[in-house]
Structure 1
Amino acid sequence: MSISHDKGRQSQQGDSHNITAEKLFNPSIEYDDLLLKLKEEFNKVWDTAKTSPDNGLEGFDELATLGAGSFGRVILVKNRQTGNYYAVKILIKDQIVKTKQVTHVHTEKRVLSSIRFPFLIHLEFSSKDFDYLYLGLPFINGGELFTYHRKVRKFNEKQARFYASQVYMGLEYLHGMSLLYRDLKPENILIDSKGYIKITDFGFAKKVETRTMTLCGTPEYLAPEIIQSKPYGTSVDWWSYGILLYELVAGNSPFSPHNKDVMMMYTKICDGEYKMPTFFSAPLKDLIDNLLQVDLSKRFGNLVNGNKDIKNHAWFKNVDWYGLLNQDFAAPFIPRVTNMEDVSNFDRFPDPKPLHRSKTNRHADLFVDF
C-alpha cells in the first residue's frame, strides 16, 4: 500500500508507512498476519507522535468550502509548490476549548496520523497558528455515500454488500489497532474516484484497551449500552454497523420513525424494538438480527469468535476480501468528476471568508503538543 505524501510538506507529517501493496494485499498472506503487520506500523507512528508547525496554511491557495460545522469548516486547498490538492479541516481553538473538546482533537490528530488502510481517511499534514488547528487530508472528490444513497433511496443487497464489506474491514482494522470509531453513519463515508469508500471524521475515535463509558455519537446509531451509561467496547461499533446495513437496504434506519422524539427513540433502542422489512433476504435479516442484539452476550462481534461471526456470515459468503482491498471490482456507482478542483459532489457553500487573525496565540498551552 503506497502512500503518496506531499513532498513540500514532509516536515509536517512524514510518511512512516513503508509496506508496499505487493506485501500487504497478496492473498497468499493470512489476513490475521496482515493485520498484525499493520498494527506494527500503526504502533510505530502512534508512539512517536510529532507536533505540528506554526505556519498555518502558508503556501496553500484556498479554493472552496466543502463543509461547515460548530468547530470550524473543511476547505479545498492547493499546494502552490507541488500542485497537490487537499481537504483541510480547520478547527477553531476558542470553540474547541469552550466545548471542552481539547482531548478529542488531540486524539483525532493522533489517530489520523497513525492509521493507514485503504478504506480509511488518513492525515497528510497538520499545522496550527494563533487561532486555528489544521488537519490536511486527501481530497476525496466523489462526495458522501449519504448523498448518493439519498438520491436512489435504497440499495439492492448486492450494492449494499459492496459498501458494507469495506466498512466491515475498516472497523476490523480500527479494532485491531485498539481503536473505537463511535460515529458510523452514511455521512461519514466518502466515495473516491473509483467508487470505493473512505471512512472519515475520527472526532469520536478513542484508543481503548478495555472499556470506556463516554456518551458520544449520533442518536439513531447509539448502542443501548452507551445510552444506559454502561461500560462498553467494540460492541458499540458493531451495533452501529447493524444500523448502517439496515439503512442501506431499507432506505431508513430502524429507529428513524421515532427520531423526532429522542427519548422515545432511546427507549426503542434499549428495548431492541424495530420492524424488519419483509423484502430483506433471510441471510440479511439474520445478520442484522444478530448485530442489533441488546443483550451483549448475544451480539455478533462480541462473542467468542469476535468479528469472525460477521465476516463468515452467509450474507458475506461470496465476498473476495482481498479483491476489495486491491480494488479489483467495478463499483456500483462511479462519481462524476471533471478535474481535481471539482467540488460538485458536495453541498454548495459560500466562498471561503478570510479567517479571523488574532495578534496573540490563543490557548497556546493547550495545543503546544498538537
Structure 2
Amino acid sequence: MQMSDSEFFADLKYRLDYLKKQELMGVDIHDRNLESSNCESEIDPDKGLVKKKQQIQNHNQLSMKLKMLKNIKINFKELKIQDFEILSTLGNHYYYAIGTGTFGRVRQAKIKGDPENQVYALKILKKTEVVRLNQVEHIKSEKDILTFIEHPFIVKMKSSFQDQFYIYMLFEYIQGGELFSRLRKEGRFANDVCLFYATEILTAMIYMHKMQIVYRDLKPENLLIAKDGHVKITDFGFAKKIGNGKTYTLCGTPEYLAPEIIKGSKVGYGKSVDQWAYGILLFEMLSGYPPFYDNEPIGIYKKILSGLIEFPKFFDNKVKDLIRKLLNPDIQNRLGYNDNGESIKKHKWYRGVDWARVDNKQIPPPWVPYLRSEDDVFWFEKYPDSTDAPKQLPRELQHMFDDF
C-alpha cells in the first residue's frame, strides 16, 4: 500500500525522534537506521516514482539535519544569563543550602537553542549579599574546587559566570531530591539500604581526600538522589583545598562537627573531620537522628565533647563497631586517618562489597525516583518565584569577583 506524503513524513518524524531518544540513552546510532525506510520498497514503477524519489531525498536531508544537530557543541565558557530560559525554583537546600534564601536562588534552566533541550540547575547568587555576609572566599573556593573535580557521586558544575548583579553557577540537574527528604519519609534506613548509600558516599570522600579536599559538611541535606537512584554529593560551600593537612575554621552543621574543631585544636587535622562526619551520617541514616543533639548548639557541643554514644538496640554490631572507630576523639586513632579513608573499606561491615561495581554504579539502588519528564520537580518543595529587584554592587567592589 502506497504511503501518502503526510503519512510518510509522520512516520519519518516518529523514527527520527525515536532514534534521538535512543542516542540520549547511550544506544549506538548508525546511518543505516536513519536511511533504511519502507519508502524504497513501496515505490510503484507505474505510479509516483518521481514523487517517491523526492521523498527519499527529503528523508536524507532530514537525516543530515539530525547529524548536524548532533554535532552542535555548547560553549559553556561563553555563556551569559541571556542565553538561558529560566524555569522553576528548586527549594530546600538544593545544590547547597540555597534553594531559596539570603544569597539567592537555584532555578531550573535550559540553554536557548540547545538541540538536546537539556535541563540544568542554575545557582544565582546576589553579589551584594555575598559581600555583606563575608562569603566571597567561600564562593570562590567552591567554584575553584568544583572546576577541577569530577566523580560519579559528586554533582558536576558545568560553568560559572557573572554580571553586575549576580554570580551564576550552572550544574547538572539532579531530579530525585535530597537523601534527607527520603530519610524523613522512611524514618530510618534498613541496614542494607544504609550500606548502599554509605559505599557510594565513601568512595566520593576518599576521592576528595586524594585530591586534598576536605569537605567539612557531610550530612543528608547535602546528598541528592539522581534519576538512576545513585547518590550525588553537593554543597561545596565549606569545602577546602588543603596543602598542609590543616584546617581550623569552626564551620558546618553543629551535630556533625568533630571535637577537634569545637576545641579549636591546632593539631594537624583536616581530613579527619570528614571521617568523623561520616560516622555521624551512618548513625543518622540508621536511626533517623544524629547521636549528639540538643535544642541549643552549646548543648550539642557538650555532648560531642563528652563522647557518649547511645546506640539503639536494633543497630547491627558490626556497624556499631565501625561508628565507634569513626567517632574516636583521638584523631590519630580515628579509622581512616592515615590513608585518606581507604582503611574504612576494609571494616567488616563492608564485607562482601564489590567496590569496583560500586564505582561503576552497577549495584542496583534501593529506590529510583519516578519521573514524568526530564524537568520534573516533584521531589522538590514548591517555591514561588522571587519578586525582589536586584541591587547592583558598587563598582569599587566588583573587583572582588574578578576570578569568576
Displacement after TM superposition at 1:126 (Å) = 1.1
Q: Can you give the 5+ residue segments of structure 2 that lack an aligned partner in the other structure?
A: 1-71, 91-98
Displacement after TM superposition at 1:165 (Å) = 0.4
Whichever residue aligns with residue 279 of structure 2, its letter is G
Match of 1:276 in 2: 311
Match of 2:21 in 1: none
Pick the aligned partner of 1:117 from 151, 156, 162.
Answer: 151
Pick the aligned partner of 2:252 from 210, 213, 217.
Answer: 217
Is 67-76 or 170-179 further displaced after alignment? 67-76
Higher helix share: 2
Match of 2:75 in 1: 9
SS at match of 1:65: strand
Pick the aligned partner of 1:331 from 365, 369, 372.
Answer: 365
Deviations 1:135-179 (A, max 9, x none): 000000110001111100111110000000011011100000000
Alpha-carbon contact 2:156-2:172 (below 8 Å) kept: yes
Larger Rg belongs to: 2
Match of 1:77 in 2: 109
Alpha-carbon contact 1:64-1:352 (below 8 Å) kept: no
Q: Pairwise mapping of residues 1-370 of structure 1 onto structure 2 (< 5 A)? A: 7-12=73-78, 55=80, 57-66=81-90, 67-82=99-114, 83-210=117-244, 211-231=246-266, 232-256=269-293, 258=294, 260-303=295-338, 305-353=339-387, 356=390, 358=392, 361=395, 363-370=397-404
Normalised by the length of structure 2, the TM-score is 0.76
Query: Within 1, Cα distance between the matches of 2:370 and 2:388?
Result: 30
Query: Within 2, Cα distance between the matches of 1:69 and 1:325?
Result: 34
Query: Within 1, Cα distance between the matches of 2:134 and 2:344?
Result: 36
Deviations 1:271-307 (A, max 9, x none): 212201221111100000000111113211214x552
Displacement after TM superposition at 1:364 (Å) = 1.4
Displacement after TM superposition at 1:359 (Å) = 9.2
Whichever residue aligns with residue 186 of structure 2, its letter is V
Among all aligned residue pairs of Structure 1 and Structure 2, give the percentage whose two residues are the same amino acid. Answer: 41
Q: Which has the higher contact order (CA 8 A, sep 6+)?
A: 1
Deviations 1:39-83 (A, max 9, x none): xxxxxxxxxxxxxx6x3x111111111011221111111111112
Match of 1:28 in 2: none
Whichever residue aligns with residue 190 of structure 1, its letter is L
Q: 1:172 to 1:306 in 2, by over 3 A?
A: closer
Normalised by the length of structure 1, the TM-score is 0.83
Equivalent pairs counted in the alignment come to 320
Give the superposed CA RMSD: 1.7
Whichever residue aligns with residue 299 of structure 1, its letter is R
Alpha-carbon contact 1:184-1:237 (below 8 Å) kept: yes
Deviations 1:208-266 (A, max 9, x none): 1221211110011000011111132100000000000000011111012x2x0221210
Alpha-carbon contact 1:130-1:362 (below 8 Å) kept: no
Query: Within 2, Cα distance between the matches of 1:361 and 1:187?
Result: 36
SS at match of 1:61: strand
Question: Following TM superposition, where does structure 1 have runs of at least 4 consecutive aligned residues deviating by more than 2 angstroms?
Answer: 6-12, 351-355, 357-363
Is 166-175 or 274-283 further displaced after alignment? 274-283
SS at match of 2:100: strand
Match of 1:38 in 2: none
Q: 1:308 to 1:140 in 2, by over 3 A?
A: same
Alpha-carbon contact 1:190-1:200 (below 8 Å) kept: yes
Alpha-carbon contact 1:291-1:300 (below 8 Å) kept: yes
